[in-house]
Structure 1
Amino acid sequence: MDLRNKRIIVTGGSDGIGRHICLKLAAAGTRLAILGRNVERLRTVEAECKAAGAADAIGIACDIQDPAAITAAVEAVTKAFGGLDILINNAGIWHKTGPLDTIAPDILQATVQTNLTGLMQITQAALPALRANDESIILNVVSKSGVVAQAGQSVYTATKYGVRGFTEVLKADEENTGVRVGGVYQSGTNTEMFAKAGETVPNHIFTEPDDLADVVVFVLSRPKLWIHDIRIEL
């Protein structure tokens, strides 16, 4: 797909992996809707994307845990851009590792809603606009935890296995439409996600988000081939 002027939503775009994806897509001349919760960070990334070469960039405050906010955000994007070409589901949160009974109920709920339910809800809201095109893309940034079970990650891993299954079924459901569906299964990435959950990890041994963003843009920009499942390790 030629990415110039393509209309793209990136969830969790104001920080971490999402910010780097937005900056790479901006350099390709896309029209970006950057979704996130922190308005100040959104304004910063919006300005960075415009400076990097985006044809357009708008930051939209949206809590992916709020179904009404999700619907409103998609409506705002399609109205502003006159449609939608690509949805990148990147938003996600981490819970501190430990046995299931050590994970607070509110953290369990937030993890499931952010990583799985909200992802499905925004995809559901965006599908009509995506199907209106001859060619569209849904790319889910999932995690290695959608493939490999690791101790202490019960809720997080459950959400990521869920996204993997959702991605596979969505591929089958959209097989006869113009919507291509793919999943990115990356290993640990050097962002603040772990620190936000109070987890101390050796981030320096992880994949750099800028490198991961390069892979995402590569997948999106293939002119003929569709790489629907990619696993990334450092």
Structure 2
Amino acid sequence: MTLKHKVAVVTGGSDGIGRQIVLKLATQGVHVAILGRNTERLTAVEKEANEAGSPKAKLYVCDLRSLSMIKEVVGRILHEFGGVDVLINNAGIWQKKMPLEELEEGVVDEVIQTNLTAQIHLTRLLLPALKKQKEAAIINVISKSGVTAQEGQTIYSASKWGMAGFTEVLKTDLHGSHVRVASVYQSGTRTDMFMKTGEKFSAEKLEKFTDPADLADVIVFMLSRPPKIWLHDVRVEQ
């Protein structure tokens, strides 16, 4: 896909992996709709993306746990950009490692809604627009927790295994169409997602985590392959 002047929607775009994806796409001349919850961070990323070369980078404050907000934002994006070529489902939250019976109900609902349900709804709502393009792509940034069993991570892993299954079926359903689907299964990445839950890692382990900018490079590489080449699944390990 030739990325210049394409329109991409990136969730979780205010920091971490999402921010780096937005900035890498901007350098390729991509129009970017940046979704996130933190207005201050989104404003900073929007400014950076426009300065990095995006013809149009625009922030959209959206709590993905709210279906009504998702619907409203999708309507605004389609109206303001005129269509969508690329959807990158990147938003996600971490569940602190602990036995299942010790998890609070609110944590269970929040993780499933953010990591799985919201991504399904956003994809469902944008799919008609993606299908109108001669060439379109959906990339789901999932995590290796979607293919391996992570001790103490019952709900987080359930949300990621759910995304893996969703991606595989969507890939089958869209086979032969102009919309191509891929998944990225990355190991630990150096973002503040873990710290937000109070999870602590040793300095040695953190040093081994993947840099978000490197992961963003992988995703841009996937998108920019010629039409006859498509990388269905990519695993990124440290």
Q: Please state which band the TM-score falls in when normalised by the shorter chain.
A: over 0.9
Question: What's 2:211 paired with?
Answer: 208
Report the counterpart of residue 187 of structure 2 in structure 1: 187
1:135: how far off?
Answer: 0.9
Misfit runs of 4+, over 4 Å? none
Equivalent positions of 1:20-35 (< 5 A) are 20-35=20-35
Deviations 1:179-234 (CA, angstroms, capped at 9, x unpaired): 00000000000000000111012422200000000000000000130101000101
Q: What does the per-residue CA deviation read over 1:97-149, in whole Å, with 9 as the maximum and x for residues that have no partner?
A: 01101111101100000000001000001001000111110100000000000
Partner of 1:164: 164
Q: CA–CA distance in 2 between the matches of 1:70 and 1:35?
A: 10
CA RMSD of aligned residues (A): 0.7
- Structure 2 letter corresponding to 1:11: T
**Corresponding residue for residue 227 of structure 1:** 231
Counterpart residue number, 1:144: 144
Separation in 2, partners of 1:203, 1:102: 26
C-alpha separation in 1, matches of 2:115 and 2:31: 25
Task: List gaps (5 residues or longer) in structure 2.
Answer: none
How does the TM-score come out when normalised to structure 1? 0.99
Instruction: For residue 176 of structure 1, report the CA deviation from its aligned partner.
Output: 2.6
* Corresponding residue SS for 1:134: coil
Query: Would you say 1:95 and 2:69 are equivalent positions?
Result: no
Contact 1:191 1:203 survives alignment (8 Å): no
Asked whether the equivalents of residues 138 and 180 of structure 1 are also in contact (C-alpha less than 8 Å), the reply is: yes
8 Å contact kept, 1:34–1:57: yes
Map 1:1-234 to 2 at 5 A.
Answer: 1-201=1-201, 202-224=205-227, 225-234=229-238
Query: Are the aligned partners of 1:95 and 1:103 in contact in 2 as well (CA < 8 Å)?
Result: no
Superposition TM-score, scaled by structure 2 size: 0.97
Equivalent-residue separation in structure 2 for 1:44 and 1:97 (angstroms):
32
How far off its partner does 1:55 sit?
Answer: 1.2
